[in-house]
Structure 1
Amino acid sequence: MAGRRLDVLRLGMVGYAQALELQRLLVERRRAGLIGDTLLSLQHPPTFTVGKRKTLHNLLATPDVLEKLGVEVHVTDRGGDITFHGPRQAILYPILSLKGMNLGVRKYVEGLEDTMIDTAALYGVRVLGRFKDRTGVWVDDRKLGMIGVRISSGSITSHGLAFNIDPDLNFFTHIVPCGISDKEVTSLKKETQATLPEEDVVTEQLIHSFANVFKLDRRSIDLDDLR
């Protein structure tokens, strides 16, 4: 039996503001029924993002340091605290109707966690079980993947997950990642003894895991298909 269709758009490296505007457009189109469930796969140039609680006190870098690092800072409308996005980190932004999938928010977030857990397992990385007091996926006390979502009109998702394949982890020293000061951030490269393939391959495995977790049939599209 065929599952629901998932249109997958692979965008490569995209500036954060551009990706945010695209998400807002697609959320409106999904709400109006003009597009189906859609997954954006991309990376960002070095960027610190802050959630809707505006916890800028967890940004440790001064404006001079930010300029030297070449990092942008964006306050967003997603849940969660401050985090870093950058090259060699896989980003998935699902634009889905939770109502259409008969999913609640908690189950949706758990599905995002399972997506990263299943991908990490392909490389022999054992992720701990879920924590009641924090989202994301963890290897012991080291955070491997981040989650921050927004649900519009009670049903349409945006933002999503960030999975550390092999980003420059030094960027995380300039923030209190996810507002948790006593935990480290890690990457798939750091945690595995296996030789990683090209990051595009790992990203495709992440997309495959996402589709499997949510029982969706993937179809590749380009931007023109959404207009």
Structure 2
Amino acid sequence: MRLQRTLEVWKMGIVNYLDALKLQEKLVSERKFGKISDTLLSLQHSPTYTIEKRRTYHNLLMPEADLQTIGAEFHYTQRGGDITFHGPHQAILYPIISLRNIGLGAQKYVENLELVMIELASLYGVQAHAGRAGETGVWVGEGKIGAIGVRISSGITSHGLAFNIDPDLNYFKHIVPCGIADKGVTSLRRESDKVLPAEEVIHEQMISCFVRLFGFNDIICK
């Protein structure tokens, strides 16, 4: 008999980064104590740069005080990874799940997140691949199409992945994306020869890829 794995999916639209961060912290605490089931947040952010816990500030290429002139926020986080950009026309997933319950270690978890984006890209005829050692995320040739930055606390995950559907790539010119100076950034719009559907459809497809690859079979949408 197949084990039932329940996932509650929150489809949230555009959410302020700090609001999403506070929500994640609340949900992580509740998941640790078994008050909620595994949860997946599907959303977008307004333009926001984030730097991870190692504080790789040198990879921000313009003064922090000037970010407001381009309509962007700037925040420090407790996730892994390096500096990145979140903005409209990205598909973002923040899983709040128990790795112990689904029998995954940290490395396999990250690999599965990469596979979610690789599978999504393949739906549009784009051959994406995982990066080489030290290049976490998903790439199309030398261009990064999907970023990953996670936090794991007591076996509970937070933060997650961001897949570029059609963001304004000019925002990436103000950082060294993920700390990799000799690589670029790309998007599904740029790489695919197909006419893309409404972004809501792509978000749904990414959720479906996540559900399948992580073996959830009882889905509750909120």
Residue 55 to residue 103, structure 1, CA distance change in 2 (3 Å):
same
DSSP 3-state at the match of 1:159: strand
- Which residue does 1:116 correspond to in 2? 117
**1:63 to partner: Cα distance:** 3.7
Distance 1:17 1:129 in 2: 29
Aligned to 2:102, what secondary structure does the other structure show? coil
1:127-138 correspondence to structure 2 within 5 Å: 127-138=128-139
* Residue identity matched to 1:14: V
Aligned to 1:202: 202
Q: Give the Cα separation in 2 of the matches to 1:95 and 1:108.
A: 12
Give the Cα separation in 2 of the matches to 1:37 and 1:132. 29
Q: Quick one: distance in 1 between partners of 2:165 and 2:50?
A: 19
Deviates more, 1:99-108 or 1:124-133: 124-133
Structure 1 residue 206: Cα displacement: 0.4
Structure 1: state its 5+ residue gaps: 223-227
| Contact 1:41/1:90 (<8 A) preserved | yes
Other-structure match for 1:174: 174
Match of 1:214 in 2: 214
Structure 2 unaligned residues grouped into runs of 5+? none
CA gap of 1:161–1:204, structure 2 versus 1, over 3 A, is same
Aligned length: 221
1:62 is displaced (CA, Å) by 1.9
Is 1:188 equivalent to 2:188 in the alignment?
yes
Asked if 2 retains the 8 angstrom alpha-carbon contact of 1:10 and 1:42, the reply is: yes
Structure 2 matches for 1:77-156, cutoff 5 A? 77-153=78-154, 155-156=155-156
Post-superposition Cα deviations, 1:24-46, rounded to whole Å, max 9, x if no partner, equal 00000000000010000000000
Q: CA deviation at 1:220?
A: 3.5
CA distance in 1, matches of 2:127, 2:114: 13
Question: Which amino acid in the other structure matches residue 73 of structure 1?
Answer: F
Query: Retained in 2: the 8 A contact 1:3–1:215?
Result: no
Secondary structure of 2:129's counterpart equals coil
Distance in 2 (CA, whole Å) between partners of 1:218 and 1:69 is: 42
How far residue 130 of structure 1 moved from its aligned partner, in angstroms, is 4.2
Output the amino acid matched with 2:206. Answer: L
CA–CA separation in structure 2 for the residues paired with 1:128 and 1:192: 15
- DSSP-derived class of the 2:217 partner: strand
Q: Structure 1 191/3 Cα, relative in aligned 2: closer, same or farther at 3 Å?
A: farther
2-structure distance, mates of 1:130, 1:181:
14
* Equivalence for 2:7: 6
Contact 2:114 2:130 in 1 (8 A): no
CA contact (8 A) 1:211 1:218 kept: no
TM superposition outliers: structure 1 runs of 4+ over 3 Å: none
Residue 149 of structure 1 contacts residue 158 of structure 1 at CA under 8 Å; is this kept in 2? yes
* Structure-2-length-normalised TM-score: 0.97
Cα distance between partner residues in 1 of 2:39 and 2:65: 38
Deviation at 1:5, TM superposition (A): 1.0
- Partner in structure 2 of residue 76 of structure 1: 77
RMSD over equivalenced CA pairs, Å: 1.1
Alpha-carbon displacement from aligned partner over 1:94-129 (angstroms, at most 9, x marks no partner) = 000000111000000000000000000000000134
- 1:56 aligns to 2:57 (yes or no): yes
TM-score, normalised via structure 1 length: 0.95
